[in-house]
Structure 1
Amino acid sequence: MTTPSMHARAFVSPSCWSSSEPDLEADESHHLLRVLRVREGREIEVLNGRGGVGAAVVDSIRGEKVRLRIRERREAAPPPVRVTLLQALPREQQMDLIIQKATELGVSAVVPLMTAHSIVKLDAAKARQRRERWERIALGAIKQSGNPWLPSIETPCALEDALARVSGLDLLLVGALREGARPLREVLREAPSRRPLSIGALVGPEGDFTDAELEGMSARGAQPVGFGNTVLRVETAAVFILSALRYEFG
């Protein structure tokens, strides 16, 4: 499949993916017209967030509505390993950055955690609002990066609830500052022999997880891993472990 120049990309919802001339949703039309300044006849890339990618041309512009004409479609191969980031809630701007970078690095899911040391406390209404915001950030990140897979963004939940959801993962890692944590590189060197198809990465808040939280994670099979001899900021730690997993498993 040829790749259109300039890498202008648009999201076509899965419900419209089979159409040869899909109408873009309002937000997508606005982005193409007002941000990318696309005009009729422009070739762009399209993706549906579920592995579908393709080439299209802007067929018509009617007011603020864009209609595309799909020229090519194909299905991208799924990631060889499904990575779930379980991220303790930091400050809002930090979490926005983590969602963006996690999406660029190809995670399959992000589960925001409410932990003992989490600075941010959300009620149900605010948790839903944050999730909607993070979903928009993730959508922007797949368009920017060309990642054909849109990760699922979960509503923030308690640590115990999150651990119950990921109990079936092949490998569960938790970044830990305490003594006894093995270097991440050692654990990853051993991982290929186990051939994990699904990995969970737990990253704590400022102040780290509590001893009780770490004990609970260890009881569920989580392996404490260290990220070197310096203390990383929350967003740096998340990018660090996800980058290492991407390097190791593709």
Structure 2
Amino acid sequence: MSLKSPIQIRHLLPVVSQSKLAFLASAEAPPFFSVLPESSIEQSGLLIIGPEGDFTAEEVHSLKSAGAAPVGLGPCRLRVETATISLLSALMLWSDAKHR
């Protein structure tokens, strides 16, 4: 895993469109575990965590159009670092379960 520095959405869109697996943490999105069964395991992918206060509606639309799957992390708003750990932990558990 590599952690990238924050970048502008316009620079992220080409990366998302070339990725086979991209999850976008968004407050109004369906729960992460309801989106996972539709996903396939890939060797690499993207976990996109937004700024404090979430993405704008336009940013979410742009990222979805580029291929990112919006996922929610529950009813509570999480700080960026907590959302990152939560999303990565859930993804690792799902991936481990799929490999068994």
> TM-score under structure 2 normalisation?
0.83
Greater relative contact order (Cα 8 A, min sep 6): structure 1 or 2?
A: 2
For residues 195 and 205 of structure 1, the distance between their equivalents in structure 2, rounded to whole angstroms, comes to 27
Q: Residue 217 of structure 1 is aligned with which of 49, 55, 63?
A: 63
Identity %: 35
Say which SS state the counterpart of residue 17 (structure 2) adopts: coil
- How far did residue 218 of structure 1 move? 0.9
**Matches of 1:159 and 1:111 in 2, distance apart?**
13
| Residue type at the aligned position of 1:188 | L
SS at match of 2:18: coil
1:112 maps to what in 2? 5
CA spacing shift, 1:195–1:206, aligned 2, 3 Å? closer
Tell me what 1:202 maps to: 48
RMSD, matched Cα: 1.6
Task: Please tell me whether the aligned partners of residues 170 and 197 of structure 1 are also in contact (alpha carbons under 8 angstroms).
Answer: no
Given residue 26 of structure 2, which amino acid in structure 1 is its aligned partner? Answer: A
Distance 2:48 2:75 in 1: 19
Name the structure with the higher strand share: 1
What are the equivalent positions in structure 2 for 1:159-178 lying under 5 Å apart? Answer: 159-178=9-28
1:91-138 CA-partner distances (Å, limit 9, x unpaired): xxxxxxxxxxxxxxxx2x22222xxxxxxxxxxxxxxxxxxxxxxxxx
Distance 1:111 1:159, change over 3 A: farther
Please tell me the residue identity of whatever aligns with 1:200: L
Identify the structure with the greater helix proportion: 2
Structure 2 unaligned regions, length at least 5:
none
Show CA shifts across 1:181-200 (max 9, x none): 11101112332xx3333221
Which structure has the larger Rg?
A: 1
SS in 1 for 2:3: strand
User: Structure 1 pair 163/110, CA: closer, same or farther in 2 (3 Å)?
Assistant: farther
Report the equivalent of 2:80.
234
Separation in structure 1 between the aligned mates of residue 47 and residue 64 of structure 2, nearest angstrom = 13
What letter corresponds to residue 83 of structure 2 in structure 1?
A: A
Could you tell me which runs of 5 or more consecutive residues in structure 1 were left unpaired when the two chains were aligned.
1-106, 114-156
One-letter amino acid of the structure 2 residue matched with residue 196 of structure 1: E
TM-score, normalised via structure 1 length: 0.36
Deviation at 1:174, TM superposition (A): 0.6
Alignment correspondent of 1:71: none
